[in-house]
Structure 1
Amino acid sequence: MENIIAHLDLDTFFVSVLRRDFPELNGKPILIGGASDRGVVAACSYETRKFGVHSAMPMKLAKKLCPEALVLKGDFESYVRASKEVTDMLEDRAPIVEKTSIDEFYLDLSGMDRFIGAVQFASELRRSVMKETRLAISMGISPAKVVSKMATEEAKPNGQLYLRTDDVQPFLNPLPVSRIPMVGEVTAQKLRNMGILTVGMLAHMPKKLLEKTFGKAGILLWERANGIDPTPVLQHWEQRSHSKETTFDKDTTDVVMIRRLLARMVEGLAYDLRKEHSSTGCVTVKIRYSNFDTHTRQLQITPTTSDQELIGHVLDLFDRLYDRRLLIRLVGIRFSKLVRGLEQLGLFDASSKVVPLYHAMDRIRLKHGERMVGRAYSFDQIRS
């Protein structure tokens, strides 16, 4: 039985939600992100892209490229509500739904052809969701997740593309290597330096040569270039919170040490959020004193994954919560009201230099371990 995997992407989701709620924005060039020159573009409309604007670009440069663009702040609550509308409709009607971000979904429709045409079902479902939510959706359908995602990109804006098994390689071959998910600019340039310009050229390279050049990632590159992706569609599930707490060997009032520990705990939790492409909208700090009295204080915030911002909130909550007359036995942090797919929006008010810094630090953590990099302030502490 051939797999039938559909990938759905809500086109320019953040812009589309704003336009749905404010029709007067239709047809106008829009940038969503921090209004200051130090901010970055979290999302942009198609009208701005023809000027070379793209997400994660410094806002100052984006406004220079497209001076007529309207710069708007993101409305997180509207995005979450709209995403939930789509999620609920898909989960109610499709057999297996995997939500990979606030605006992306995979459906496993394998085996449905015994009862109803799977492609027809997916097409009707897409049209139904678009009609009820008034949001544009692009869709790719193929035997593999990675191919379906690439098909979706080719179907944009607001289109769909179905690839049978025999269609996959002819579709992939002429695409530039940069179209393969996981291929960033550094990898793409390295491939170009090797004379590999298209997916088809990559597909015909010896697998062992790619492994020697790129390590295990080389095998994955070869497989994706050949349309091979055994990754299953996993049923949608969202973790409701992330938390950490530490019990001290000896009750303490060493506030300097505790603040450093809290900062380090935040760095670890924020790293976990970024790995799953989530942001937190609520921060809670817990203190348990030597007499076992336990107190908490929480703060609702704009969803973010920024270490710097979250450390500030946590330390402020700790300072307001701490009773300086008592020894502390335990401290804890919890991030809740998680929102999928808002990592970049959660950082857009930061300097454009901060986002690549976080990404670089996360790559070091992924390769060498979570404790190998962090702020100098947070390193001098008791290890949790």
Structure 2
Amino acid sequence: MHPHYPKNGRVILHVDMNSFYASVEAAYNPELKGKPLAIAGNPDERRGIIVTCSYEARRFGVKTTMPLWEAKKLCPQLIIMRPNFDRYRSASQGMFDILRQYSQWVEPVSIDEGYVDITESYTLGSPLFIAESIQNQILSQLDLPSSIGVAPNKFLAKTASDMKKPMGITVLRKRDLPGKLWPLDVKEMHGIGEKTAQKLYSMEIPTIGELAKANEIILKSQLGINGLRLKARANGQDDRPVDPDSVYDFKSVGNSTTLPRDTANQKELLNTLNQLSAKVASRMKTKDTLASTVMLTLRFKDRKTITRSRKLRNPVGSQEDIYTTAKALFLEHWNGNSIRLLGVTGQDLVERDDAALQLDIFSFEEHARKEPLYQTIEKLQDKFGKKMIQKGFSIKKEKRDPHNDTSFNKDFLRDDK
């Protein structure tokens, strides 16, 4: 065993690409290097926001999720480009291909970050040497900058990779916590959002160090089981393994849209819901899954946002079924005020083959009529294989517009292995 590796325990890297979309565009077109660049939505519509931006743009105060008009005000010379997700997927796959040269234990987290367990890679050199080699190889082969955290678990590795950007490598051990992590504000801790931070402040827990020493009974009473998990993280405890197969885990599929204008026109809103339901159904179809729950998201003119969901007796996957539930939720919870954003999400997804149909007196008759067809399909599947014929499912890949797509999910990674 290499002296830099623990006898018991793990060594995990978190590789995080720096300003990924902007960096990919600069690698594709070197004339963009060193210039304030932002990747954003349609600049002609209100929904246009900054998806990511170069570090040169950040020096002017441009930030992710900032409206385009505000970004232009801060940086008049800002170069704005629409996203090209096909290009980003290609770069992402190249990055993960490099990571797998160093370990078989690679867990993609998103299009631009992943974990690598290098505990068994000691023959390649020290953890720091491997991190430097990965960073240099990604830069030389893909012309993309990255930051890497080196730690004994996933939480600390993720925390470490955020400490030095761009092109940083940070080692974070449990013995480093009192000096490096505990003095920080709780809102700086990975996994703590604004609402949770405010609750912790109200409990007189302003720093990560205070969270690490907090009373577990009080934490659980105020934050539930998540409070105990956050305390464990603050103490550097995280036993989650690096799981290459987690890329195939998915619990929900959703689509949302910001309307071109605030509106209270019911017909227009329902039509948008129907379109969103179609998109959700299409994505679920490619995953060969059904949703056990449908969730509706409403954001009003005053930016107040509510979510309402309904657990279904039988999992659904068609546009009609998803829309029927979304429409019922909308009519029940819409107060008539103008809507700014609508969203539809299929939750608690199950594999189509694993979905157990719970028949009731209303669905039994319809299902019984289709039973001979189902039996015929099953016989064909038994003889020729399940991929030969499937119920209501087409294996034809959908055509995508590379400029009008989304990567805020793991869909692209399912083809990456």
1:38 and 1:352 in contact (8 A); partners too:
no
Per-residue CA deviation, residues 178-203 of structure 1 (Å, 9 max, x unaligned), is 12222111111222233322211211
Q: How many angstroms apart in 2 are the aligned matches of 1:101 and 1:134?
A: 19
Per-residue CA deviation, residues 314-351 of structure 1 (Å, 9 max, x unaligned), is 89x9xxxxxxxxxxxxxx962369xxxxxxxxxxxxx9
TM-score w.r.t. length of structure 1:
0.66
1:64 paired to 2:73: yes
Partner of 1:3: 10
**1:155 match: secondary structure:** coil
1:214 paired to 2:214: no
1:9 and 1:105 in contact (8 A); partners too:
yes
Counterpart of 1:272 in structure 2: which amino acid?
Answer: S
Q: Could you say if the C-alpha distance between residues 131 and 183 of structure 1 is closer, same or farther in structure 2, counting changes exceeding 3 Å? A: same
1:147 and 1:168 in contact (8 A); partners too:
no
* Larger CA deviation: 80-89 vs 370-379: 370-379
Choose from 153, 158, 167 the match for 2:162: 153
Per-residue CA deviation, residues 18-71 of structure 1 (Å, 9 max, x unaligned), is 000111111222221111333222112222323443222333333333333122
1:273 paired to 2:282: no
Counterpart of 2:30 in structure 1: which amino acid?
Answer: P
2:253 and 2:280 in contact (8 A); partners too:
no
2:181 and 2:208 in contact (8 A); partners too:
yes
Choose from 32, 36, 55 the match for 2:39: 32
Choose from 372, 376, 379 the match for 2:327: 376
Give the percent of matched residue pairs that are identical in Structure 1 and Structure 2: 32
**1:68 match: secondary structure:** coil
Counterpart of 1:125 in structure 2: which amino acid?
Answer: I
1:335 paired to 2:335: no
1:53 and 1:65 in contact (8 A); partners too:
yes
Alignment of 1:354-369 (within 5 A): 361=307, 365=309, 369=311
Displacement, 1:313? 5.8
Q: How many angstroms apart in 1 are the aligned matches of 2:127 and 2:244?
A: 18
Q: How many angstroms apart in 1 are the aligned matches of 2:153 and 2:247?
A: 23
Q: Could you say if the C-alpha distance between residues 188 and 333 of structure 1 is closer, same or farther in structure 2, counting changes exceeding 3 Å? A: closer
Q: Could you say if the C-alpha distance between residues 203 and 63 of structure 1 is closer, same or farther in structure 2, counting changes exceeding 3 Å? A: same
The count of aligned residue pairs is 291
Counterpart of 1:204 in structure 2: which amino acid?
Answer: K
Q: Could you say if the C-alpha distance between residues 139 and 313 of structure 1 is closer, same or farther in structure 2, counting changes exceeding 3 Å? A: closer
Q: How many angstroms apart in 2 are the aligned matches of 1:68 and 1:17?
A: 20
Give the alignment's Cα RMSD to 1 decimal: 3.7
Displacement, 1:106? 0.3
Displacement, 1:116? 3.6
Alignment of 1:1-384 (within 5 A): 1-34=8-41, 35=43, 36-113=45-122, 116-236=125-245, 238-239=247-248, 272-273=252-253, 310-311=276-277, 334-335=285-286, 361=307, 365=309, 369=311, 375-376=326-327
Q: How many angstroms apart in 2 are the aligned matches of 1:357 and 1:20?
A: 40
Displacement, 1:208? 1.7
Counterpart of 1:183 in structure 2: which amino acid?
Answer: I
Q: How many angstroms apart in 1 are the aligned matches of 2:275 and 2:57?
A: 29
Partner of 2:385: none
Displacement, 1:206? 1.3
Q: How many angstroms apart in 2 are the aligned matches of 1:28 and 1:148?
A: 30
TM-score w.r.t. length of structure 2:
0.61
Counterpart of 1:171 in structure 2: which amino acid?
Answer: K
1:33 and 1:41 in contact (8 A); partners too:
yes
Displacement, 1:139? 0.3
Q: How many angstroms apart in 1 are the aligned matches of 2:38 and 2:137?
A: 29
Displacement, 1:204? 1.6
Q: How many angstroms apart in 2 are the aligned matches of 1:177 and 1:37?
A: 33
1:38 and 1:60 in contact (8 A); partners too:
no
* Larger CA deviation: 154-163 vs 5-14: 154-163
1:15 and 1:45 in contact (8 A); partners too:
yes
- Runs (5+) with no aligned partner, structure 1: 243-270, 280-305, 318-331, 338-350
Q: Could you say if the C-alpha distance between residues 93 and 309 of structure 1 is closer, same or farther in structure 2, counting changes exceeding 3 Å? A: farther
1:97 and 1:236 in contact (8 A); partners too:
no
Q: Could you say if the C-alpha distance between residues 38 and 163 of structure 1 is closer, same or farther in structure 2, counting changes exceeding 3 Å? A: closer
Partner of 1:246: none
2:39 and 2:81 in contact (8 A); partners too:
yes
1:98 and 1:233 in contact (8 A); partners too:
yes
- Runs (5+) with no aligned partner, structure 2: 1-7, 257-271, 289-297, 314-321, 332-361, 368-417
